[in-house]
Every structure is written in C-alpha cells, then in structure tokens.
Amino acid sequence: MSKVRLRSERLQWVELDGEVVALDEVALAYLSANPTGALLWRELSRGTTRDELAQCLAGHFELELERAEADVDTFLEDLRERGLLEYE
C-alpha cells in the first residue's frame, strides 16, 4: 500500500488544545480539524498509509475497525479534493 502525506509546501499548521488550525497557502483558505482529525493530521504530516491511519484511529478512540476505515476514507477524500495530499 502506498504512503500518503500532507503537501507540506502549501500548508502551514499548528496544533492548539488538541485541534489543528491550518492555512492552505495556495487556496488562501483556513482549515480546522477536531481532535480526531488532528490525530490523523499528525500522522499524515509524517507519511503513513490508509490502513495505518485506520488502525491508529481505532486504537486511540476504541472504534470498530470498519468505522475507523470509513472515517479515514472520508477525511482523506476531503483532503484529496482540496489537493492537499501527495502519494509515495
């Protein structure tokens, strides 16, 4: 499975109180992520796979794996549509 990561060259972000606030410098848009999204965001900043993200989410929030996979897919699709992901 290929690794995916955030496009660091177009994003500036900070974590505040367990949430992420980011600026997409190309679209000139602010984004935010709640604690669940912040967990995924941190992993994506390092580079990871979809399956690793789902396992991380399921383990951290004690979710069933199918639910975690669906949540990860939704999160990744939103970031992909915004052009904020790159694949290795």
Give the tens place of pLDDT for each residue, 69-83.
Answer: 999 999 999 999 999
Position 46 pLDDT exceeds 90: yes
Confidence at residue 1, expressed as pLDDT on a 0 to 100 scale: 72
Please say whether the structural domain 8-87 has been given the CATH code 1.10.240.10: no
Confidence at residue 29, expressed as pLDDT on a 0 to 100 scale: 96
Q: What is the DSSP letter of 2?
A: -
Boundaries of every domain in the chain: 8-87
- Burial readout 22-52 (b: 16 or more C-beta within 10 A, e: otherwise): bebeeeeeebebeebbbbbbbbbeeebebee
Kindly give the pairing relationship between strand 29-33 and strand 19-24.
antiparallel
**What percent of the chain has a predicted confidence (pLDDT) above 90?**
95
In the chain, the N- to C-terminal Cα span, in Å, equals 10
The model's pTM: 0.94
